[in-house]
Amino acid sequence: MPPRCARGAEVPIGRSSHSVNVVNSKVLIFSGEELPRVPIAANPANNFGGSGFEAFDLGQSVWVKDASAATKTGAPQPRVGHASAQIGNKIYILGGRGGAEMVPFDSDLFEFDADTGRWNIVSPASKCTVESRSYHSMTASKDYVFVFGGCPAKGRLNDLHQFDPATRTWTQFPSHSEISPRGGPALAVLGDRLVVFGGFNGNELGDMWTIPVGKDAGPIAEREWKRIMVPVGSLVPDRRSVAGFVALTDKFVLFHGERDPSSKGHEGAGLYHRDVWTFKFTSKENDAVQTGIWEEQEVEQNGQNPTARGWIAAAPLNGDKVVMVGGFDGEVRDNGVYLLSFD
């Protein structure tokens, strides 16, 4: 049965360069831009408990406002090009650009507890090694938060950092000379393997790398990146950046993204993909050579499928679905909330 897509709701303001997380069937959307380089503040009618998130309840098909918590403060300043990750019911946000000068924010890590509705700026027990950045990517395992790549005040980055909420410590992973500095990379964790795909380094990229991130993988300083190999002659996705990329129960899902860059780089918009791919490892986590296979998915056409776009935000749901919100198709910043189902 092919994957199915449905447009479930409309955000009051279409946007790109935002973030999306799903907690207890609620889609939590943070900031982004409708006009270029102008961060969006949460719509008062949908400001979830004064948190700065706009929340859509998938189960009830309604936008949610928790008026009882409206006095809670401490939310991050509205921003574009930030990233988020989630462990359980806690959401972590770092970076992005904002303010009058639209420069990268400091590398403060914000933690939102969806159970209490409260924000906290995490005070690390060790020095934060993460340089201020935007258009980076974040993901999480069951234990750790990860930050990769992005754009500092000048140039691009290819560094990977781990944050351990239990000890409030940051640790930087070894880098690899063949992983070029990039913005807009795809990043996700499945099991104990973190995967990076593509991004933009002046050109759209299509390389794919993995590194072990489990607690039992040995000292971080000794871990190694490995390029993921696929069968010779097999189909693979085209190069891209600012795409959707999430891990479901047994596979990664890659979709949409920019295929031809704007002459303005990250500040402009180019041409986009409209495809959906899944990737499964065929190697075990400890194998010396990491291998896998891509499969392009023919999504059922029902008139609700999103147009080609990039600069989107997405999150997994229940291990077999992907929630995608917004994005930019070169002309319009969309306001749709889409559900892509693999069940």
Task: Tell me how far CA of residue 75 lies from CA of 51, 53, 79, 86, 113, in angstroms.
Answer: 6, 9, 11, 16, 11
How high is the pLDDT of residue 47?
83
Query: 30: which strand partners?
Result: 19, 53
**Residues belonging to the chain:** 343
d(CA 106, CA 287): 38
CB 162 within 8 A of CB 205: no
Alpha carbons 12 and 244: distance in angstroms, whole number: 21
Nearest-angstrom CA–CA distance, 171 and 160: 9
Reference 317, options 24, 9, 14, 6; nearest CA is: 24
The DSSP line for 66-91 is -GGGTT---PPPP-BS-EEEEETTEE
Query: 150-176 burial, b if ≥16 CB within 10 A, otherwise e?
Result: bbbeeebbbbbbbbbbeeeebbebeeb
Amino acid 245: pLDDT: 99
pLDDT of 128: 84
Torsion of CA 229, 191, 125, 175, to 10 degrees: 0
The type of residue at 257 is G
Q: CATH number of the domain at 4-341, out of 2.120.10.80, 3.30.70.20, 3.40.50.1470, 3.40.50.2300?
A: 2.120.10.80
CB neighbours of 6 closer than 8 A, spacing ≥ 6?
A: 302, 304, 338, 339, 341
- pLDDT at residue number 71: 46
From first CA to last CA, the distance across the chain in angstroms is 8
Residuewise pLDDT in 10s, the chain (343 residues): 899 999 989 998 999 999 999 999 999 999 999 999 999 998 887 888 888 999 999 999 999 876 544 445 689 999 999 999 999 999 999 999 997 788 899 999 999 999 998 999 999 998 888 999 999 999 999 999 999 999 999 999 999 999 999 999 999 999 999 999 999 999 999 999 999 999 999 999 999 999 999 999 999 999 999 999 999 999 999 999 999 999 999 999 999 999 998 766 545 567 999 999 999 999 999 999 999 999 999 999 998 999 999 999 999 999 999 999 999 999 999 999 999 999 8
Residue with tokens 């679905």: 321
